Amino acid sequence: MDHYAVFGNPVKHSRSPWIHTQFAAQTGAELDYRAQEVAAEQFEQQVLAFFGRGGAGLNITVPFKEQAHDLAQVLSDAARVAGAVNTLYQDDDGRLVGDNTDGVGMLRDILQNGGVLRQRRILVVGAGGAVRGVLPNLLAEQPAELLILNRTADRASALADRFRDLGPVRGGGYDLLTNSPATAPFDWIINGTSVGLSGGLPPLPASVVAPHTWSYDMVYGPGQTAFQQWCVDNAAARALDGLGMLVEQAAEAFFLWRGVRPQTAPVIAALRQELAVG
Ligand code: ATR
């Protein structure tokens, strides 16, 4: 029996144990996957103890992704670029490897839904850890333009500076929309703020949305998120939520750990059903 866990705080509402149990059933794997709440000052010790006991792999969630990055002895390119780690395991030499599957998870979900980013104008809202993790994957799709807007303008411009080598990215405060000529609706609007967790909306004018606009909310809920609803109300073509990203990033971690790629579509559908019935 292989042991896995997700470390976070809070973590009790994590869907990761449920998702990985579905993957295990699908692939005939014998595994035990738990959610473990870890005190901030105990994070490093608990990670080392987990692998010391023979644990096979960890997922890392809020607020430990940066600490996991610092703790890992080997980093994947994705983890290094993002400055954050959501997946840990040991290599054949017993070194702790840190990877980040959030970006690839989101991209896979977008592509599987038929989304196209190449040569598109993308608006990314928010400039926290969630956005930083997906920017390299978005830019790798070669958009025509990627604009990051954030309440704290400096965080958005710092992110744009950090990723400038990867593509045509700019960043700043929401006033960039009103003060620049680039106010035409965007092809994509990606919400990476946490404002939706309290039911709020990022402060965007409706003029950024048009009937050809696709949107992606990095969070999800039992029904449509407030941001999805706002996009639909403003006649967006498609409004996706982050449930697919959650399952896809988990599938990528499962693949890193076990070398087997589970099917995500049935798990996304089943999780959607689970959420709907509460
Ligand atoms: P995460 O790691 O989940 O991205 P974070 O680093 O705390 O979390 O980032 C949260 C994001 O949501 C930030 O972009 C934050 O804006 P600031 O950088 O200005 O704090 C954004 N956010 C949170 N509450 C917001 C609100 N009420 N209005 C606008 N943006 C908000």
**233 and 119 part of one domain:** yes
**184 and 202 part of one domain:** yes
**76 and 120 part of one domain:** no
Q: What is the pLDDT of residue 180?
A: 63
Q: What are phi and psi of 145, to 5 degrees?
A: -160, 140
**Atom 16 (ligand 1) nearest CA:** 151
Q: Determine the Cα–Cα distance for residues 60 and 16; give it in Å rounded to an integer.
A: 10
**48 and 22 part of one domain:** yes
24 closest CA partner among 270, 275, 277, 267 = 267
Largest CA distance in the chain: 59
Q: Determine the Cα–Cα distance for residues 28 and 19; give it in Å rounded to an integer.
A: 14
Ligand 1 centroid to Cα of residue 211, in Å, is 27
101 lines ligand 1 (CB under 6 A): no
**116 and 21 part of one domain:** no
Distance of CA 243 to the CA centre of its chain: 10
Q: What is the pLDDT of residue 178?
A: 79
Q: Determine the Cα–Cα distance for residues 129 and 133; give it in Å rounded to an integer.
A: 6
**56 and 164 part of one domain:** no
Q: What CATH code is carried by the domain that includes residue 175? A: 3.40.50.720
* Enclosing H/E stretch for 190: strand 188-191
Phi-psi region of 276 (alpha: psi -120 to 50; beta: other; left: phi over 0): alpha
Q: Are 64 and 35 in contact (CB under 8 A)?
A: no
Structure tokens that stand for 21 in this block: 């149990």
Q: What is the pLDDT of residue 277?
A: 87
202 lines ligand 1 (CB under 6 A): yes
126 lines ligand 1 (CB under 6 A): yes
Q: Determine the Cα–Cα distance for residues 9 and 37; give it in Å rounded to an integer.
A: 5
| Number of the ligand 1 atom closest to the C-alpha atom of 130 | 4
- Domain range for residue 77? 2-100+244-277
**140 and 162 part of one domain:** yes
Distance of CA 191 to the CA centre of its chain: 11
Q: Determine the Cα–Cα distance for residues 101 and 245; give it in Å rounded to an integer.
A: 10
Cβ atoms within 10 Å, residue 29: 17
Collapse the DSSP code of 138 into the 3-class scheme (helix H, G, I; strand E, B; otherwise coil) and give the result: helix
**39 and 161 part of one domain:** no
Q: Which of 106, 151, 220, 249 to mutate to test the pocket of ligand 1 (most atoms within 8 A of CB)?
A: 151
Q: Does the annotation mark 65 as catalytic?
A: yes
Q: Are 213 and 22 in contact (CB under 8 A)?
A: no
Q: What CATH code is carried by the domain that includes residue 79? A: 3.40.50.10860
143 lines ligand 1 (CB under 6 A): no
**108 and 231 part of one domain:** yes
- Choose the catalytic residue: 65, 69, 121, 155: 65
Residue ranges of the chain whose pLDDT lies below 70: 179-183
* Enclosing H/E stretch for 230: helix 226-233
195 lines ligand 1 (CB under 6 A): yes
Ligand 1 centroid to Cα of residue 203, in Å, is 12
**pLDDT tens sequence across 39-91:** 999 999 999 999 999 999 999 999 999 999 999 999 999 999 989 999 999 99
Q: Are 202 and 226 in contact (CB under 8 A)?
A: no
Ligand 1 centroid to Cα of residue 187, in Å, is 23
**143 and 119 part of one domain:** yes
Ligand 1 centroid to Cα of residue 127, in Å, is 7
**28 and 82 part of one domain:** yes
Q: What is the pLDDT of residue 199?
A: 86
**Atom 27 (ligand 1) nearest CA:** 195
Q: What is the pLDDT of residue 198?
A: 87
Ligand 1 centroid to Cα of residue 152, in Å, is 8
Q: What are phi and psi of 148, to 5 degrees?
A: -105, 125
**107 and 231 part of one domain:** yes
Q: Which of 123, 193, 220, 246 to mutate to test the pocket of ligand 1 (most atoms within 8 A of CB)?
A: 193
65 lines ligand 1 (CB under 6 A): no
Q: What is the pLDDT of residue 5?
A: 98
Domains in the chain, number: 2
Ligand 1 centroid to Cα of residue 189, in Å, is 16
Structure tokens that stand for 85 in this block: 């780690």
DSSP state at residue 246: H
Radius of gyration, CA atoms only, the chain:
19
